Structure 1
Amino acid sequence: MLGQKVSYQVDLVTFLATETRAKLAVGCMRIDQVTSLSVTVQGLRGVVHAVRRTILVANRKGGVGKSSIVAAIAVLVAKAGKRVLVIDADPQGNCTQRDLGVRDGDNGKSLAMAIQYGQVLEPVRDVRPGLDVIAGGNLLSLATTIITSSSDHGIDPVANLSTSLTSLVDTEGYDLVLIDSAPGELQLLDVLLEIATWLIVPTKEDEASLDGAEKLAERYLRARKLGAIVELMGMVLFDCDPRATRRNASTFQTVHELLEGTGIAPFKSTIRHDKATSVDARRLHLTPAELATPQRKVEEVSDEDNDEPKKMWSRNPGPLAADHKQLTREVIGRLASGERAKEEA
């Protein structure tokens, strides 16, 4: 389906501890037939182009960890020597500015222009070695207006963004694309659901977050009915207390009920509540794994906003960093299994 066969090794688990690699061989993917990461299918709206190995992280509720999870996975995979693209599709631009520390972004202009005109996407390059970012920001609010009135002006935002993203992915050779989405930009969310091939839904344990996940499910099912090929990869519990075993079990039961009939289990990995590390991460524009780097001494950490050394509030970012590493391992494992299943189908 993807044309001439090209075989190459995508080893996204080199950052794992040696003793765990054998157990996680599923995370080592060999992908054939990769000349383009675009996938063409016939949907109810006609031909729809999704971009392979593109993971959308979404929930209709804000503050559930979407940006933090996207940044953490992106940095870990890039650290493994792979090429990663982050698309910040949120007008708040938190993933761009707060999580990854991008100062020279375009406030979402490139992404908005790609949606409206199919213009070339212009990433901020080497935010970390191997990690590029399509910046988010307030100019993305224009995209919602563009999408809403697109049919009146002969604009196809899905085709435009798909063409631009596929061209960028093919040119740059990205191994993984991660999309951070906004909770309230419904029209933009619908476009992203048609572009992505996988969906991850983070949630907190409160009812508002779970309601946001349920509302997202409605848009996901709508996109599938219209011919989108995006598949649910799983739900992940964010900002939880690992010691609250009974409460977590109750939340997992609720998540299982939300996923009933999909054949998808929630991620076993959870992301713990650690306010101090989370504050440090956003203040210093680092992921928990970067904060936990052994050679990073507290007295040597500086805040890029004023260039003065800053003492970290967190005494031990290691446990939160370990949570994100475990989730990344699980995401890569499910990605590998899902791609093999699609190739065998």
Structure 2
Amino acid sequence: MTGTRAAGAALPGGQVALAHDDELPPGGELRALLEDVLAEVRGACPPLGPHPPALVSGAHVVDPPFYGSGDIGRIAVCATVNELAAAGARPLALTLSAVVEAGLPLERLHRLARSVRDAAREADVVVAGVDVRVVRAGEADQVYLHTTGIGAFHGAPLDTRDARPGDRVLLSAPLGGHGAHILSVRRGLGFESLVPSGCAPLAGLLERARAAASGDGIRAVRTVTRGGLAAALHAYARELGHTLRVEESALPVQYEARMALEAMAVDPLHASSESCLCLLVAPDAAPGVLAALRTHPYGRFAAEIGTVVEDGAAPVELLRDRGGAVPVTPEPAAFPRLA
């Protein structure tokens, strides 16, 4: 399985075997398959020039790793790119390591590689390195991925400590779509046909938002991933020492996602939203940033949902539609293995 696969060639048959890990280098034939598919986005990391480097690293475990509208490959690329962008860096490149179970159909490995290729192309990053190892059946839930992302800071890194009371809390996209999709697939409920995962690379969206904000108008950005919005807000509150107060009526949740989450007894505040960013923005910059987000395909449902306040009864408070404020508690371990 060497050389470049011809366009239109049949997908590989057969399965991953432990013998693939005995090759030199380990996984050589499987690595060749991945590199074949990734050829158009493979390359060395672009020069950083005078800009300080940014580095993020993470493991990606998804149950199931292949699902209705995506797979672990797209999640890995998007998560890596989005973490770099949320730090204030421009994503440039990533490396990809795969731990694959013996018995995985080679067609699935090919599908994963296509997803990585397509997401990297959309995010305008190169795949600078590929590695693959094989473990026994049952030891890796089909496939685990690890990525390292490299970027460059073209301005000052974003720092939550720059936020202050009065700053506005913005969301770039509706809540809960990814969590509803994956949990529905996992439980065999069928909602995934109505609620797409929506996992997307968001660096371009953030660049547009930062261009609309003068100076330090955007104080900080967090991805809304494991633990959902509640976890992101609590992380802000811990770093700031202030309360984040959000309005229930302002939370963007699409009808289909809300119905699916209600059927599974999941609060949208705790549902993973892989295509959503939570921004803290200066009051005078918030209208322009919100308008800029809404001009981007991945930000057209962006919303202002709350405010940073000096202190409150709890680190994170939800203003109910019917009046009164209630504390929002984090549930980071409620729905594992979503990204």
TM-score by length of 1: 0.25
| Structure with greater proportional strand content | 2
Whichever of the two has the greater Rg, that structure is 2
TM-score by length of 2: 0.25
| Structure with greater proportional helix content | 1
